[in-house]
Structure 1
């Protein structure tokens, strides 16, 4: 009897030990862990996945956006990539061109993702292979504080010229109020600021055949106008700080991706009623693909399968609808946005309208896409000169184009 008890105890200990050894933690860094809207979605998704996978946990944590790509690049280069790889889609080609991401066509073949997702899912193809799943595409939205516009005696602008006049009228630096919100500290989003204004004006930072186009007269003209706007923005702020200043009532107007709508809830009860949104006052609505999710190429088979199951889960209809409701932008799966949603939430309806007509602000050729990180960094440096110096815009852009052609040739 004693032997039987002892044998049972040993078997139990062995089983518990084996179970302990099979526990897996999936590493998931993201810049959205604390961002209202996406943060709630990711928290719910992680909880649901962990509940369906006993012994598996997901370590989700925040990395500031301005540091995110540099830190991820170091990890991949060092052979220590995160298990769940979340990327701004503009940076995807730089990682794909290094062979850092796993092709997932074999996994996609067992799903309806290619048949039911937005055509923008094709942005995740590299060398004929699909290496990720799209999370969000969007059109830019014009956000404004109607109380600040009313106080300045201006209407909601409908054209670029009206926008500049409104920005100038609202700005009162002595009272800490600024007409325009922009990234005015060195940051990857300076490229987005430039490209949005240029594209919105009907021009492009790249030619049709993929060459740099920073010195074209129409680009110079658009960035001259942008320069006037940014002179009326608070200095030395990141995109994250800019958003908060808008929510605090210190910035009257800004351009932001439709996903910012989910952050309006952070405004105080007194301020929130004055936070409004409309179509961009440009002849062309700028936009692009926002972010995507991937599996590292050198992940072991067990972790690869678990990460895929997480990706597959959030691509299901139920979770795509949850994503739309949380982020207030239609998710890429068809049917994730309904007329009932539009009627219940005008911000989602506005995001859908902008997304339907948006023109991509990001480079489209493989050469420019794979070198986007370096291009954006150099544009960011030129952006600071545009903000802080008195050099002519044309001269700054001529120098930038010369440096880009020398250091990041595209042909």
Structure 2
């Protein structure tokens, strides 16, 4: 009799459990080119695993797309209504997505969080039509790298301002001995037009002023003359970023201005060369950010999926995970304040320098929506102008006047 009662109870309990609905699970597709990159992939794997453990009702579907194909593949996915719920974007390509209305505005989610008040200035660049359209995950500023031994042997001091930097670069150039003052991008490559922008900003002006192209202004012409004299006369021509960095690592150049990720390149130097290669914050203003990595929610999700997507973004941007990001990848987080502890700074002093510069980093490129929506055309026109400045004797004022006319035709400002 007891066995029958136990059996009946067991059957009844089983029936009751079977009647309970299984816990619903939200599937979030997350797209990034970083999911298989060394360092970045390690961080994302750790974030996703920890998030799913803490949120068993949400599953992250990882969608890896190589960076070279990313914009094309995302365009296809959005156009065919197969967009990922969450996606990373290179900050320079943000406008191409925002202009199509593909990115949700998370202002309601951001309000009252530390993202509203504690993020670096570059976060303001993720505004479109008056609404925030994403969150900066990675922010950085260019750093100054120099070869301490080359400078000491030549009796040249480490520069403390832009004028001293120009003089030091020129003093270190000895092409006959195979030594150049500067490593820089001097061929068909996106960085060449970044450098053009940087020199214009160093002069206290900009490509666009008061809603109009400003390339024919005397101060811009003078800034680009400085670019020609500093880079064109002191850096070997025909080099892309990889070659420029390797020349510095090999001790063939004295200076390099580049992103903080070049620190990892220094480890490729020979044991004899490595102690000579130093990195400091660029010792003049403005500190300029070459463009960070951003994270976004796709427009048009249902309420529950959007809430889950925001929960994932908020998790990845917690201070503890942003600290791990900096330590694992060597790239600063989107936060304005340092995420490093005092122990971290003692153990990783170079990360403290990188983080300090990043919090003051300002975007290199204009926030004009027409420029950001048509950045490929804008970039191509100014890349051509930069190469003419470096490789021809054509007057700078004519090069810039031609570029301005082409910009006004191809990328008119609103």
Change (3 A) 1:330 1:180: same
Contact 1:35 1:263 in 2 (8 A): no
Change (3 A) 1:402 1:75: farther
The DSSP-based 3-state class of the residue aligned with 1:214 is coil
Q: Give the Cα separation in 2 of the matches to 1:243 and 1:77.
A: 38
Change (3 A) 1:313 1:322: same
Change (3 A) 1:224 1:69: farther
The DSSP-based 3-state class of the residue aligned with 2:141 is strand
Which segment is superposed worse, 87-96 or 340-349?
340-349
The DSSP-based 3-state class of the residue aligned with 1:28 is strand
| Equivalent of 1:273 in 259, 272, 275 | 275
| Equivalent of 1:402 in 398, 401, 405 | 405
Q: Give the Cα separation in 2 of the matches to 1:402 and 1:70.
A: 29
Q: Give the Cα separation in 2 of the matches to 1:262 and 1:234.
A: 23
The DSSP-based 3-state class of the residue aligned with 2:298 is coil
Contact 1:315 1:333 in 2 (8 A): no
The offset of 1:120, in angstroms, is 4.0
The offset of 1:212, in angstroms, is 1.0
Change (3 A) 1:81 1:179: farther
Q: Which residue of 2 aligns with 1:221?
A: 222
TM-score, normalised relative to structure 2: 0.79
Contact 2:77 2:83 in 1 (8 A): yes
Q: Which residue of 1 aligns with 2:353?
A: 350
The offset of 1:145, in angstroms, is 1.8
| RMSD of Structure 2 on Structure 1 (CA) | 3.7
Change (3 A) 1:185 1:141: same
Q: Which residue of 2 aligns with 1:388?
A: 391
The offset of 1:25, in angstroms, is 8.3
Q: Give the Cα separation in 1 of the matches to 2:61 and 2:268.
A: 29
Q: Give the Cα separation in 1 of the matches to 2:81 and 2:254.
A: 45
| Equivalent of 1:148 in 121, 145, 150 | 150
The DSSP-based 3-state class of the residue aligned with 2:62 is strand
Q: Give the Cα separation in 2 of the matches to 1:140 and 1:198.
A: 15
The offset of 1:125, in angstroms, is 2.5
Q: Give the Cα separation in 2 of the matches to 1:256 and 1:166.
A: 17
Q: Deviations over 1:53-83 (max 9, x none)?
A: 776442445425xx65466456545655455
Contact 2:48 2:60 in 1 (8 A): no
Q: Give the Cα separation in 2 of the matches to 1:110 and 1:285.
A: 29
The DSSP-based 3-state class of the residue aligned with 1:277 is strand
| Equivalent of 1:236 in 235, 238, 242 | 238
Contact 1:328 1:347 in 2 (8 A): no
2:353 corresponds to 1:369:
no
The offset of 1:250, in angstroms, is 3.6
Q: Which has the larger radius of gyration?
A: 2
Q: How many residues align?
A: 392
Contact 2:33 2:67 in 1 (8 A): yes
Q: Give the Cα separation in 2 of the matches to 1:402 and 1:187.
A: 22
Contact 1:210 1:368 in 2 (8 A): no
Contact 1:248 1:271 in 2 (8 A): yes
The offset of 1:401, in angstroms, is 0.7
Q: Deviations over 1:92-112 (max 9, x none)?
A: 123112101122234435854
Which segment is superposed worse, 397-406 or 168-177?
168-177
Q: Give the Cα separation in 1 of the matches to 2:350 and 2:107.
A: 34
